[in-house]
């Protein structure tokens, strides 16, 4: 669904709304409206990104004046909001797109639109008033069922945060766009960007839900679901029933946003890497998740889940961790909230990642060694699940990636989606466009990649590239390149793609990077892979280490080895000079210094 924001008139406010990424902005050229643009300088409109349609809104204006203002302001769309005839409307279509608006009430005769069908590009259905729109009131949207022509329409009139849920339920095949106006204002003509941003999220989420998002049964195409022992059912079911309501709650959003800003340090910068851009012949941008508190994207999800746990009344948090990164993020947010924290970790991993064990302890967490099986991540996961079964009422289990039974993959993706949400806005500031040509991210379980892809999924022209760890080579027997080596099966409670033996035993993955050393990918990734919405590639240890060194020495940024995998992929791609390329720098390399030092012999 497209979004039009109408009734703008103040320069700074126009720029702020444009940065949110609407599809249409409307400027009212009707002197009697409190939102009349008056003598708005032409430069203000010229500064709006070309991807946004600039719409002049007229009420019974002369053709001469409309043409004058089209030329003056560079409108590419006109909205005729008075009693203009079909012929009058059609006259502008050789240079602009034409929207013809009608006031609708319960007696509205859709038959009168037939004469317009071949003379306009869109209809707009607004609430019928004595004046010409701007009433802030809705009409009875059921009446839209009587509209049967093939011309797509905008819906206008009183749309607000309170009724967006109703708007989303309208399933008319010609429903093209919503028109947001008076209910998103602080005063006539001045838009409340916070409210608009919330509305954009809700509207765009809807589209995701329909296309690549999870369905109501917890599946992404063939993947997902909740394959759990019966004893876990009550815990997972409680989450499933509550998570959407909690996440969409205004108090939750306010607390999440505040912590993202003041605790995590968001928005993380979108950095234009100039030397990289020169080297690779495109505009290369780094999304700097490495600058977050605790050094990676993992904190975004940990904050989201601890706030959710609080609202579910939980008193205790458990988590599993492989390399310790997710354990540290979880211990951090538990300290922040004063909640007890138990982290399960394989004995071998505890030895390999001793500094992270110390960090968790310093933050007040209890680290419980998992000493069964291979004494690594999957054994830690089993121990955590056992704990959760034993403590269903007071304990929340924080999973660290877009994996696990539904609703975890969707929940974690939503928390991480702040990455692409910010990126879209920042790209408009850097490039004047919301969409890049390429988006790259590394994939372990897939949470930084899903956060980086999320708000671009629907924009099919954006090429998404997910980089897996090939380890010592895809065919070496020491690899974590899941889509290359895996088959469909069930891992950690969801149907996905995983590395397994012919009889279904999980194969131990290998990567020099601890965060990518995972035998599966989240179910949404399995789906994006299978339907080819994203491209899955792999990069070896050696390629990643070289890329980490290059980034350190060319940009002065020591990246995590995980993120270095995404950087290494640049070597294998061909770009046009005008291409905009965004790479998720998921984390900083401080934690990997020992590995870098050993590898390069510094």
Ligand X SMILES: *Cc1c(COP(=O)(O)O)cnc(C)c1O
**Strand 2-6 relative to strand 175-180, pairing:** parallel
Beta strands 223-224; 270-272: pairing state? unpaired
Strand-pair category, 24-28 with 185-187: unpaired
State which of residues 127, 431, 538, 586 lies at the interface with ligand X (CB under 6 A). 586
Q: Does residue 296 bind ligand X (CB under 6 A)? A: yes
CB of 331 to ligand X, least distance (A): 14
For 202, counting Cβ atoms within 10 Å of its Cβ (0-12 exposed, 13-18 middle, 19+ buried), the class is middle
Q: How many residues bind ligand X (CB under 6 A)?
A: 19
For residues 474 and 481, the answer to whether their CB atoms sit within 8 Å is yes
Regarding 524 and contact with ligand X (CB under 6 A), the answer is no
> How remote is the C-alpha of 485 from its chain's centroid?
28
Binding mask 306-325 for ligand X (x = CB under 6 A): -------------------x
Confirm whether 320 is a catalytic residue. yes
User: Binding pattern to ligand X, positions 223-262, x when CB under 6 A?
Assistant: ----------------------------------------
Measured distance between the N- and C-terminal CA atoms of the chain, rounded to whole angstroms: 54
Residue 48 C-beta: closest distance to ligand X, Å: 35
* Cβ nearer to ligand X, comparing 218 with 587: 587
Interatomic CA distance for residues 162 and 295, integer angstroms: 37
Tokens of 565: 């995998």
**CB of residue 176 to ligand X, shortest distance in Å:** 36
Comparing CB distances to ligand X, the nearer of 442 and 545 is: 442
The verdict on 404 binding ligand X (CB under 6 A) reads no
Q: Which of 327, 515, 523, 548 binds ligand X (CB under 6 A)?
A: 515
| Burial classification of residue 575, based on how many CB atoms lie within 10 Å of its CB (0-12 exposed, 13-18 middle, 19 or more buried) | middle
Is the Cβ of residue 213 or residue 444 nearer to ligand X in the bound state? 444
H or E element in which residue 77 lies? strand 77-80
Give the residue with the Cβ less far from ligand X, 8 or 365.
365
CB of 515 to ligand X, least distance (A): 3
Q: Would you state the structure tokens that stand for residue 425, as one six-digit string? A: 């806005």
The catalytic position among 9, 204, 287, 298 is 298
From 89, 424, 586, 591, active-site residue: 586
Residue among 486, 478, 476 at smallest CA distance from 512:
478
Distance CA 339, CA 316 (A): 6
Work out how close the CB of 346 gets to ligand X at its nearest, in angstroms, rounded to a whole number: 15
Nearer Cβ to ligand X (249/508):
508
Q: Which of 493, 511, 381, 378 has its CA nearest to residue 442?
A: 511
Residue 79: beta bridge partners? Answer: 57, 99
127 forms beta bridges with: 104
Task: Name the one residue in this structure whose structure tokens are 């540290």.
Answer: 328
Q: Which is nearer to ligand X, 21 or 445 (CB)?
A: 445
457: which 2 tokens? 């999924």
What is the C-alpha to C-alpha distance for residues 330 and 345, in angstroms, rounded to an integer? 13
Going by DSSP bridges, is the β-strand pair 463-471/487-491 parallel, antiparallel, or unpaired? Answer: unpaired
Tell me which of 9, 298, 396, 492 binds ligand X, using CB under 6 A. 298
**Which one among 119, 356, 401, 423 touches ligand X, defined by CB under 6 A?**
401
Helix (H, G, I), strand (E, B) or coil at 76: coil
Of 133, 404, 471, 587, the one binding ligand X by CB under 6 A:
587
Token pair of 133 as six digits:
């729109």
Give residue for tokens 């043409």.
67
Question: By C-beta, is 81 or 266 nearer to ligand X?
Answer: 266
* Nearest distance, CB of residue 430 and ligand X, angstroms: 23
- Active-site residue flag, 586: yes
Residue nearer to ligand X on the CB measure, 283 or 401: 401
* CB-closest chain residue to ligand X: 587
For the segment 324-353, give every residue that binds ligand X (CB under 6 A).
325
- Closest among 365, 394, 402, 368 to 382, alpha carbons compared: 368
Site for ligand X in 546-565 (CB under 6 A): 560, 562-563
Tell me whether residue 225 or residue 446 sits nearer to ligand X (CB atom): 446
How far apart are the C-alpha atoms of 588 and 602, rounded to whole Å?
19
Applying the rule CB under 6 A, the residues between 432 and 491 that interact with ligand X are 442-449
Give residues in contact with ligand X (CB under 6 A): 296, 298, 325, 401, 442-449, 515-516, 560, 562-563, 586-587
User: Active-site residue numbers?
Assistant: 298, 320, 586
């Amino acid at each position: 669904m497209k979004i039009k924001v109408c009734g703008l008139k103040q320069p700074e406010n126009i720029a702020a709304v444009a940065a949110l990424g609407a599809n249409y902005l409307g400027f009212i050229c009707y002197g009697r409206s409190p939102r009349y643009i008056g003598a708005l300088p032409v430069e203000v409109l010229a500064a709006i990104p070309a991807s946004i349609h600039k719409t002049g809104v007229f009420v019974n204006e002369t053709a001469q004046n409309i043409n004058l203002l089209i030329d003056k302001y560079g409108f590419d769309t006109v909205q005729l909001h008075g009693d203009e005839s079909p012929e009058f409307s059609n006259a502008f279509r050789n240079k602009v797109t034409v929207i013809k608006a009608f006031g609708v009430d319960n007696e509205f005769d859709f038959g009168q639109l037939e004469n317009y069908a071949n003379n306009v590009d869109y209809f707009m259905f607004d609430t019928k008033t004595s004046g010409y729109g701007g009433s802030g009131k809705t009409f009875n949207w059921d009446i839209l069922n009587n509209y049967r022509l093939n011309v797509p329409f905008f819906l206008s009139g009183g749309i607000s945060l309170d009724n967006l849920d109703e708007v989303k339920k309208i399933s008319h095949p010609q429903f093209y766009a919503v028109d947001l106006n008076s209910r998103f204002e602080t005063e006539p003509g001045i838009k409340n960007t916070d409210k608009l941003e919330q509305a954009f999220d809700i509207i765009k989420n809807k589209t995701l839900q329909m296309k690549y998002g999870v369905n109501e049964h917890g599946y992404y195409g063939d993947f997902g679901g909740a394959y759990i022992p019966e004893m876990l059912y009550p815990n997972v079911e409680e989450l499933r029933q509550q998570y959407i309501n909690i996440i969409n709650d205004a108090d939750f959003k306010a607390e999440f946003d505040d912590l993202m800003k003041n605790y995590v340090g968001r928005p993380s910068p979108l950095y234009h890497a100039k030397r990289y851009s020169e080297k690779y012949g495109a505009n290369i941008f780094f999304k700097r998740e490495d600058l977050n508190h605790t050094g990676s994207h993992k904190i975004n999800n940990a904050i989201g889940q601890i706030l959710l746990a609080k609202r579910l009344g939980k008193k205790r948090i458990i988590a599993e961790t492989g390399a310790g990164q997710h354990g540290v993020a979880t211990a951090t947010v538990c300290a922040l909230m004063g909640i007890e924290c138990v982290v399960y970790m394989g004995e071998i991993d505890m030895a390999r990642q001793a500094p992270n064990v110390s960090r968790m302890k310093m933050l007040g967490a209890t680290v419980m060694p998992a000493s069964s099986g291979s004494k690594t991540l999957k054994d830690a996961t089993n121990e955590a699940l056992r704990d959760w079964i034993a403590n269903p009422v007071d304990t929340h289990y924080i999973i660290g990636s877009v994996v696990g039974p539904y609703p975890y993959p969707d929940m974690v993706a939503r928390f991480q989606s702040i990455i692409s949400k910010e990126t879209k806005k920042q790209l408009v500031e850097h490039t004047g466009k919301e969409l890049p040509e390429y988006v790259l991210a590394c994939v372990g379980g897939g949470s930084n990649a899903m956060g980086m892809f999320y708000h671009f999924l629907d924009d099919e022209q954006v090429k998404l590239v997910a980089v897996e760890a090939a380890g010592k080579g895809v065919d070496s027997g020491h690899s974590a390149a899941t889509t290359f080596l895996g088959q469909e099966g069930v891992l950690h409670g969801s149907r996905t793609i995983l590395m397994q033996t012919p009889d279904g035993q999980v194969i131990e993955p290998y990567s020099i990077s601890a965060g990518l050393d995972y035998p599966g990918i989240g179910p949404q990734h399995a789906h994006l892979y299978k339907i080819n919405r994203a491209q899955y590639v792999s990069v070896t240890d050696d390629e990643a280490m070289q890329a980490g060194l290059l980034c350190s020495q060319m940009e002065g940024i020591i990246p995590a080895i995980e993120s270095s995998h995404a950087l290494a992929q640049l070597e294998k791609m061909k770009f046009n000079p005008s291409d905009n390329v965004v790479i998720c720098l998921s984390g900083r390399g401080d934690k990997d210094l020992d590995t870098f030092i050993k590898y390069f012999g510094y």
